[in-house]
Structure 1
């Protein structure tokens, strides 16, 4: 079998090692690629708990220069939990241990500082491990997101790691909006601090090299994502449309999120035929497709489980959060109504500007767009309810808490619970995903998998998975205001459609859609790995 080594910060195949959608790719692809006769090993930090959790076996120490001194990193191996013959390699060092957290926040005006240190060490250790042949030499080295950009730099310019240049190297961009920039020098978390000798050599003798790794906007910063985009053999984006969007500059006025400063580099790689857009996938059951029925009992089940989630939140915290209290009051009101809403809209996701900015745009009357949406649910022919499950940005949580207190048409569950999210996918009528940009998206696939049509903004992977008025609704606009107006009009149209006979055929079409990991694996082999 051909062998691929993936280096990544996250992995959904391991409990506690998932934060975002990248983890699902790392967790799900090895099994699909195994069916294509490709063995995938994954290397990642231990984060202070994965060695014991996986009962990993110690295999080696590697010593390497880092921060001007010799640093020792331990290497452990554990069998892949889902794929026979594949392994998970864990890099263990005190610097990787942040109390079980994958990422840490710097609130001292030094964005990414601690994480950049951690992942720079991860990359240097991984390079050392491969070059010392502590692991089998892979046919392909596959790097994921900004966390791995330093390895692309070391592969290209550090003589100790010249052997890596003979390994075909692929770089996947999961979200271009997070690039991990840090100062080039004169900072504790900087390229100079991590690799002083390499930095000195590049600064004096390699203007061309520096031009490939510095941030295009902040010339005194190192950009690990830009380094990987320019220095790897193939560049992969997680949907065909997103791969096109990022070759255009971002425009705040129109609400277009494009290359975020890296569009020229990406366009140049595309001209070299090295850019690929391959949609992420989803797992599907082999059982025959049956369209689930929506019943009053199903809605009661959703309310009961939502209440239990809220009670768990209260039990695990000393103080009662106001959003939990509002949600419990709303649940009581819904139960007293003794009738399920005629249309149940659902939304599941991280509360970030990317996901909810359109919903929280302020309209001419001073209200948020989501309030206009809720008003349409209250006054239209179909009395509707929006259940929104998510957590993230504290300011966004506050905004939604205030809206939830004003509008009985919104049940806001602040947090994330996997079983509750699955109930929302299964029992909702319409799924809302109005992301300002979406590299791929998994929530829309999960909703369709349960027979729930989606209302989406026509960007990235959302455009690639939803067909307007066939298996869902897609809205667009030439300006930010146009997008918001189109979103509200589309919601009104979709809610009205749920009362029509053709809505069932749309549900059936959504249920029948397939975006399989096996198709993704075949595309990886043909386009990225060249097997």
Structure 2
């Protein structure tokens, strides 16, 4: 089985969010399970120098992009058993940012077209092309509309994964002629038409053979008006090919027993190292080093989507309790200023670190007692799984992947891996935090059991990768 995994980003080359983690870890695991998976990415100028030195050029050629005749270089390297192809064109990918440029429609239209054009050049035709989010969403559309006559490409099956439905790639209709050089036969309600514009992601939903998203609950949620981002009717129409496969986390990178990012190692049988990490985190965050207060960690983009308006609403009252909070992240300037204010008002109880620091993030996962993640919606979420891996119990809103991965504490049976609330409100968040604090302070045996249960859960990529392979196998046999 040959699979081409197409993405706008992948760690460790380029990463802005969870897609970068998935595009690195999932192909790596599928290769371990015997699948010939190769990854294709833009060759952004942001690639770290150590990887640039490893690149080898396979070929370069030109192709027609609307009225333009454009250059396309194909560079490659192999990392951890995975072959990577990089589409090289400085005029599109030598920019200040990966996304958010004025010509993103053309840039990723070029990328989607180049992915297909490269296949015959490298003489490797996959059985499956697995597109991810809107950046590669035109690949299935183009395979059906522009390249259907090419016999070598006609058998390729098309899989789309939606990592976050909010981002869709919406552009003016002229992009069809100006960039793709096609007519308007795909500009229909069951194609790309989205009101009076073109929607890349809608096109992929309609033209792919299978659609997955990153948790079973999110797969259900996006077919409703509340979470469907105005594509819920399209997803309901295509629900027969929609499923949810929960993401994993990379166990090579997230392992408390040997993580090089944390100063003290531990496992579920010996938690002494976790207590030492807590003291180290308190010291680095400028908080009093105390082992008798619960420490709540937060690592996130500071946005409404992540529920920070709920946290802000209860924070003044919360910080009057016997606890500490360490917050790490950047985002909405309002939240940045607000959390800095609370940290200055309660300097012994809150540390607000408005920055991006991977090493400090790992220490927060490893050294905190609780991890706060009350997202309004969360397609999958990785932080809650990482926190449980490190014995830090998550407090989450029951939505998307948070609902699928965090088992709420049952006060009667002692089962659970964290704490969760249903009904997105500050009131419900407050009471859930109160419950968590009560267990921490007054029921140490129950707390120890929860930590052990959280750390013993399997969030590796082994099972999700097998689910994708099963999906591919079913498609090829159809």
Taking structure 2 as the reference length, the TM-score comes to 0.88
Kindly indicate whether residue 412 of structure 2 is the aligned counterpart of residue 472 of structure 1.
no
Within 2, Cα distance between the matches of 1:516 and 1:206? 39
1:237-256 matches, cutoff 5 A: 237-250=213-226
Kindly indicate whether residue 71 of structure 2 is the aligned counterpart of residue 104 of structure 1.
no
Within 1, Cα distance between the matches of 2:282 and 2:451? 23
Deviations 1:107-138, CA, capped at 9 Å, x for gaps: xxxxxx432221111011111112x2424111
Kindly indicate whether residue 114 of structure 2 is the aligned counterpart of residue 129 of structure 1.
no
Kindly indicate whether residue 17 of structure 2 is the aligned counterpart of residue 47 of structure 1.
no
Within 2, Cα distance between the matches of 1:7 and 1:206? 22
Kindly indicate whether residue 473 of structure 2 is the aligned counterpart of residue 519 of structure 1.
no
Aligned to 1:108: none
- Tell me, what secondary structure is at the counterpart of 2:309? coil
1:141, distance to aligned residue in structure 2 (A): 0.6
Residue from 76, 92, 116 that aligns with 2:105: 116
1:294, distance to aligned residue in structure 2 (A): 7.3
Residue from 399, 404, 407 that aligns with 2:338: 399
1:48, distance to aligned residue in structure 2 (A): 2.3
Say what the alpha-carbon RMSD is for the aligned residues.
2.3
159-168 or 510-519: bigger deviation? 159-168
Within 2, Cα distance between the matches of 1:486 and 1:471? 19
Kindly indicate whether residue 233 of structure 2 is the aligned counterpart of residue 264 of structure 1.
yes
Equivalent residues of 1:13, 1:28 under 8 A apart:
no
391-400 or 64-73: bigger deviation? 391-400
Task: Give 4+ residue runs of structure 1 displaced > 4 Å after superposition.
Answer: 159-163, 285-288, 294-297
Aligned to 1:365: none
- Tell me, what secondary structure is at the counterpart of 1:166? coil
Equivalent residues of 2:128, 2:472 under 8 A apart:
no
1:264, distance to aligned residue in structure 2 (A): 1.4
Within 2, Cα distance between the matches of 1:390 and 1:496? 27
Aligned length: 451
Kindly indicate whether residue 439 of structure 2 is the aligned counterpart of residue 488 of structure 1.
no
Equivalent residues of 1:128, 1:161 under 8 A apart:
no
Aligned to 1:158: 146
1:519, distance to aligned residue in structure 2 (A): 0.6
Deviations 1:420-449, CA, capped at 9 Å, x for gaps: 111111111111010111111110011000
Residue from 23, 29, 33 that aligns with 1:32: 29
Aligned to 2:247: 280
Equivalent residues of 2:59, 2:121 under 8 A apart:
no
1:509, distance to aligned residue in structure 2 (A): 0.7
Equivalent residues of 1:291, 1:508 under 8 A apart:
no
Aligned to 1:354: 305
Aligned to 1:458: 398
Equivalent residues of 2:256, 2:366 under 8 A apart:
no
Equivalent residues of 2:393, 2:454 under 8 A apart:
yes
Within 2, Cα distance between the matches of 1:423 and 1:299? 8
Taking structure 1 as the reference length, the TM-score comes to 0.80
Aligned to 2:439: 497
Aligned to 1:323: none
1:49, distance to aligned residue in structure 2 (A): 4.8
Residue from 396, 409, 426 that aligns with 2:366: 426
Q: Which runs of 5+ in 2 are unaligned?
A: 258-266, 410-415
- Tell me, what secondary structure is at the counterpart of 2:320? helix
1:242, distance to aligned residue in structure 2 (A): 0.5
1:194, distance to aligned residue in structure 2 (A): 1.1
Within 2, Cα distance between the matches of 1:391 and 1:38? 38
Kindly indicate whether residue 95 of structure 2 is the aligned counterpart of residue 95 of structure 1.
no
Within 2, Cα distance between the matches of 1:192 and 1:485? 52
Kindly indicate whether residue 389 of structure 2 is the aligned counterpart of residue 449 of structure 1.
yes
Deviations 1:248-307, CA, capped at 9 Å, x for gaps: 112xxxxxxx1111111111222x3x111100012335977425247775344114444x
Q: Which runs of 5+ in 1 are unaligned?
A: 106-112, 251-257, 307-330, 362-368
Residue from 290, 298, 311 that aligns with 2:269: 290
Aligned to 2:68: 69
Aligned to 1:372: 314
Within 1, Cα distance between the matches of 2:48 and 2:393? 41
Equivalent residues of 1:235, 1:275 under 8 A apart:
yes
Kindly indicate whether residue 189 of structure 2 is the aligned counterpart of residue 213 of structure 1.
no
Within 2, Cα distance between the matches of 1:49 and 1:246? 33
1:7, distance to aligned residue in structure 2 (A): 0.9
